[in-house]
Chain A
Amino acid sequence: MNHLVVAPVLLPLLAAIGLLLMRPLPLGVRRALSAGAVAAQAALAVMLLAATRDGTIMTYALGDWPAPFGIILVADALAAWMVVITTVLALTAVLYASRGDDGSGRHFHVLFQLQLFGLNGAFLTGDLFNLFVFFEILLLASYGLLLHGGGPLRTRGGLHFVVLNLAGSTLFLFAVGTLYGVLGTLNMAHLARRMASVGPDDAGLVQAAGLLLFGVFALKAALLPVYLWLPRAYAHTSAPVAALFAIMTKVGAYSILRLDTLIFGAAGGASAHLLAPWLLPLALATAVVGMLGVAGGTLLRRQVAYLVVASVGFLLTAVGLGSVEGIAAGLYYLPHSTFAAAALFLLADSIASRRGALADHLVPGGAMSDPRLLGALFLVAAVLIAGLPPLSGFVGKFLILQAALGHPALPWVMAVLLGTSLLAVIALARSGSVLFYRAELVAAPPGEDQGRGAMGRLGRELAPAVALLLLCGALVAWAGAAHEHTHGMALQLMNPELYMEAVLGPASRSGP
Chain B
Amino acid sequence: MELLVALIIGVLTACGVYLVLRRRSFPVVLGLTMLSYGVNLFLFAMGRLTIGRPAVIQADAAGYADPLPQALVLTAIVISFAMTAFVIVLALKARSELDTDHVDGRGES
Contact = CB atoms under 8 A, between A and B. Distances in A.
Contacts of A166: 32, 83, 87
B39 A177 contact: yes
Given A140-B83, A178-B46, A162 B90 contact: yes
Interface residues of A, number: 28
B20 A167 contact: yes
Interface in A158-216: 158-160, 162-163, 166-167, 169-170, 173-174, 176-178, 180-181, 186
Contacts of A158: 90
Interface in B35-94: 35-36, 38-40, 42-43, 45-48, 68-69, 72, 75-76, 79-80, 82-83, 86-87, 90-91, 93-94
Interface in B1-51: 16, 20, 25, 28, 32, 35-36, 38-40, 42-43, 45-48
Closest 9 CB pairs of A and B: A181-B46, A156-B105, A177-B43, A177-B46, A173-B39, A170-B35, A152-B97, A155-B94, A136-B79
Given A162-B90, A180-B68, A136 B83 contact: yes
Contacts of B87: 162-163, 166
B46 A180 contact: yes
A398 interface: no
A293 to B, nearest CB: 18
B20 A156 contact: no
A151 to B, nearest CB: 8
A435 interface: no
Contacts of A176: 43, 72
Contact of A159 (B76, B80, B94): B94
Interface of B is mostly: helix
Nearest to A135: B79
Contacts of B38: 170
23 contacts: A133-B79, A140-B83, A140-B86, A152-B105, A155-B93, A159-B25, A159-B90, A159-B105, A166-B87, A169-B83, A170-B16, A170-B35, A170-B39, A173-B39, A173-B42, A176-B72, A177-B39, A177-B72, A180-B46, A180-B47, A180-B69, A181-B45, A181-B46
A155 B94 CA distance: 6
A129 B104 CA distance: 32
> Which size bracket describes the interface of B in this complex?
35 or more
A152 B104 CA distance: 11
A147 interface: yes
A166 B20 CA distance: 10
Contacts of B90: 143, 147, 155, 158-159, 162
Interface of B: 16, 20, 25, 28, 32, 35-36, 38-40, 42-43, 45-48, 68-69, 72, 75-76, 79-80, 82-83, 86-87, 90-91, 93-94, 97-98, 103-105
A177 B70 CA distance: 11
B103 to A, nearest CB: 6
B32 A163 contact: yes
Contacts of B104: 156
A174 B42 contact: yes
Contacts of A133: 75, 79
B97 A155 contact: yes
Given A159-B25, A177-B39, A180-B46, A167 B32 contact: yes
Interface string A115-151: 0000000000000010001001000100100010011
Given A129-B75, A155-B93, A174-B39, 8 more contacts: A136-B79, A152-B98, A160-B103, A163-B87, A166-B83, A166-B87, A170-B32, A177-B69
A155 B32 contact: no
A177 B42 contact: yes
Contact of B28 (A140, A163, A169, A174): A163
Contact of A129 (B45, B48, B72, B83): B72
Contacts of A181: 45-48
Contacts of A177: 39, 42-43, 46, 69, 72
Contacts of B94: 155-156, 159
Contacts of B20: 163, 167
A381 B45 CA distance: 52
Contacts of A129: 72, 75
